[in-house]
């Protein structure tokens, strides 16, 4: 049975002029231009957002839940990501901005940085208890996880099989609120504020997890604008806790520092092209042995997500300054609660499965014949990989022809020679 995939991007055909820039940029070849308009292959798309950045016409639009979705729940919780504070200039107080989020209609706020310290301990323990797997690859970036499912399936066993900090804190606050306030869990809405579309997709269609832990995903961009609209009206924010040390989780290199120890060698990689290069080297045994590899599809980590407001390097500098100068450093007190759940394997996730990209035929013999047909058609094509046909490369066009999605006439060079 074909699986339907959720995606947080869509093509606005009214804006798309079929320029083919998107098809050349996609790391999983998930885009084609057909009849002058771009189309998304939902099986291949990993929601990395690279095509959104490449499109000169802004024809590839992003999706996140509107803030109004919180009104479907009796009790509403916002989960603030570590990258959030880096979006605001130095005139904006870290805790005051968080209080402003609370004023947008939420009953409570939680913070990803509350649990990043304890999460670092869990990852270290996982690494030491899985010495037969090297390297272990971080699972915090949903786009990287999906990339491995699509292009590097041999590395699926290497992915860290633990929930992310955003999911761990969501589980905690739902349990706490239900117990303390005697509210049915179904009436509690938990909404992460997210920096990228891959996290929107992860909320609506989680890979590997046993259950949906969130009830929607709201973009940092939307929250930022609403916070700035009411910021000056916010008073009395002394009750807002802050966890500045945990803000490191938003920055790729600093996130790796959480994990690195004398007995744990860690490599940090960010940017989708760099991630692909390193995954290929790992798969081919061309890289020295690391115990753990932190991978983020966005430049510099979550601060580089396309739903953010600020340039990632400016955001990084701001977060580092907050970490250096903050006088309000709250240590999260309930480490024993999380440790017990970790030891009980509560945060374990299901093993991930590869995505079915192109099955030529259920019958092996027929598949071999189709592969031969692909090679035959490829030999007829010019090999320029120009993209004018609407496919990224000549090989991709050959595959599309065999699948009945294109024809030789789509190659403009061959057509001119006729």
For residue 79, give both structure tokens.
Answer: 């989960």
Residues 75 and 122 in one domain: yes
CB 123 within 8 A of CB 162: yes
Mean pLDDT of 139-158: 95
Query: What is residue 245's predicted lDDT score, i.e. its pLDDT?
Result: 87
CA nearest neighbour of 194 among 298, 299, 64, 10: 64
Residue 182 forms part of a structural domain? yes
Residue of 183 and 243 predicted with greater confidence:
183
Query: What is residue 207's predicted lDDT score, i.e. its pLDDT?
Result: 80
Cis amide linkage into residue 135, ω under 30° from 0: yes
Bridging pattern class, strands 292-296 and 266-270: parallel
Residue 142 forms part of a structural domain? no
Residues 163 and 185 in one domain: yes
CB 141 within 8 A of CB 274: no
| Enclosing domain of residue 230 | 67-133+157-252+302-343
Over 90: is that where the pLDDT of 56 sits? yes
Q: Work out whether the CA dihedral 135, 140, 141, 147 comes out positive or negative.
A: positive
At 202-255, the pLDDT tens digits run: 999 988 765 678 999 999 999 999 999 999 999 888 888 888 889 999 999 999
For residue 205, give both structure tokens.
Answer: 């269609």
At 302-340, the pLDDT tens digits run: 999 999 999 999 999 999 999 988 765 555 556 888 999
What three-state secondary structure class fits 324? helix
Mean pLDDT of 4-27: 94
The chain-wide mean pLDDT, for the chain, equals 91
Query: What is residue 360's predicted lDDT score, i.e. its pLDDT?
Result: 61
Residue 267 forms part of a structural domain? no
**C-alpha distances in Å from residue 208, one per residue of 89, 203, 205, 213, 356:** 37, 12, 10, 12, 16
For residue 404, give both structure tokens.
Answer: 């009945």
Residues 53 and 172 in one domain: no
Q: What is the pTM of this model?
A: 0.92
Residues 317 and 412 in one domain: no
Residues of 146-181 as b/e, b for ≥16 C-beta within 10 angstroms? bbbbbbbeebbebbbbbbbbbbbbbbbbbebbbeee
Residues 231 and 329 in one domain: yes
CATH at residue 397: 1.10.15.40
Residue with tokens 């990228």: 196
Residue 259 forms part of a structural domain? no
Residues 34 and 168 in one domain: no
Residues 72 and 96 in one domain: yes
Helix count and strand count (H, E) for the chain: 15, 11
Over 90: is that where the pLDDT of 24 sits? yes
Over 90: is that where the pLDDT of 369 sits? no
Query: What is residue 361's predicted lDDT score, i.e. its pLDDT?
Result: 61
Q: Work out whether the CA dihedral 105, 108, 113, 119 comes out positive or negative.
A: negative
Residues 232 and 363 in one domain: no
For residue 121, give both structure tokens.
Answer: 């301990």
For the chain, percent of residues with pLDDT exceeding 70: 95
CATH at residue 102: 3.40.50.1780
Residues 101 and 238 in one domain: yes
Task: Please name the residues in contact with 57: beta carbons below 8 A apart, sequence gap of 6 or more.
Answer: 15, 16, 17, 19
Q: What is the DSSP letter of 186?
A: G
Residue 244 forms part of a structural domain? yes
CATH at residue 57: 3.30.70.20
Burial zone of 90 (CB within 10 Å; 0-12 exposed, 13-18 middle, 19+ buried): exposed
Residue 139 forms part of a structural domain? no
CB 403 within 8 A of CB 358: yes
Mean pLDDT of 371-395: 94
Residue 277 forms part of a structural domain? no
Residues 237 and 172 in one domain: yes
Residues 331 and 235 in one domain: yes
Residue 143 forms part of a structural domain? no
- Residue-by-residue DSSP string for 243-295: -GGGGGGGSHHHHHHHH-BTTB-EEEEESHHHHHHHHHHHHTT-S---SEEEE
Query: What is residue 209's predicted lDDT score, i.e. its pLDDT?
Result: 64
What total number of domains does the chain contain? 3
């Amino acid at each position: 049975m074909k699986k339907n995939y959720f995606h947080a991007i869509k093509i606005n055909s009214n804006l798309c002029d079929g320029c083919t820039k998107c098809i050349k940029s996609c790391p999983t070849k998930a885009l084609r231009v057909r009849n002058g308009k771009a189309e998304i292959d939902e099986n291949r798309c990993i929601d990395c957002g690279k095509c959104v950045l490449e499109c000169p016409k802004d024809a590839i639009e992003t999706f996140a839940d509107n803030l109004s979705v919180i009104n479907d729940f009796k009790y509403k919780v916002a989960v603030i990501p570590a990258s959030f504070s880096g979006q605001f200039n130095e005139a904006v107080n870290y805790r005051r901005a968080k209080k402003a989020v609370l004023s947008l209609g939420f009953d409570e706020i939680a913070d990803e940085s509350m649990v990043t310290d304890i999460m670092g301990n869990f990852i270290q323990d996982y690494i030491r208890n899985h010495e037969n797997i090297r390297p272990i690859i971080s699972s915090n970036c949903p786009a990287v996880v999906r990339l491995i499912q699509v292009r590097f399936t041999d590395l699926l066993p290497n992915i860290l099989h633990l929930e992310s900090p955003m999911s761990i804190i969501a589980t905690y606050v739902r349990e706490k609120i239900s117990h303390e306030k005697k509210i049915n869990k179904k009436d509690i809405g938990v909404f992460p504020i997210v920096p990228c579309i891959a996290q929107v997709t992860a909320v609506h269609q989680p890979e590997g997890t046993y259950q949906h832990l969130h009830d929607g995903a709201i973009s940092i961009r939307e929250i930022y604008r609403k916070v700035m609209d009411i910021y000056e009206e916010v008073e009395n924010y002394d009750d807002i806790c802050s966890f500045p040390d945990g803000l490191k989780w938003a920055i790729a290199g600093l996130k790796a520092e959480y994990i690195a120890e004398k007995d744990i060698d860690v490599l940090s990689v960010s940017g989708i092209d760099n991630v692909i290069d390193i995954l290929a080297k790992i798969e081919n045994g061309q890289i020295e042995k690391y115990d753990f590899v932190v991978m983020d599809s966005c430049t510099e980590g979550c601060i580089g997500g396309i739903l953010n407001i600020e340039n990632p390097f400016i955001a990084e500098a701001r977060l580092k300054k907050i970490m250096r100068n903050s006088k309000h450093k709250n240590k999260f007190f309930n480490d024993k609660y999380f440790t017990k759940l970790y030891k009980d394997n509560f945060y374990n996730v299901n093993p991930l499965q590869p995505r079915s990209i192109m099955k030529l035929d259920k019958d092996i013999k027929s598949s071999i014949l189709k592969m031969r047909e692909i090679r035959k058609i490829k030999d007829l094509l010019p090999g320029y990989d120009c993209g004018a046909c609407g496919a990224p490369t000549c090989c991709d066009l050959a595959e599309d022809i065999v699948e009945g999605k294109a024809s030789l006439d789509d190659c403009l060079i061959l057509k001119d020679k006729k």
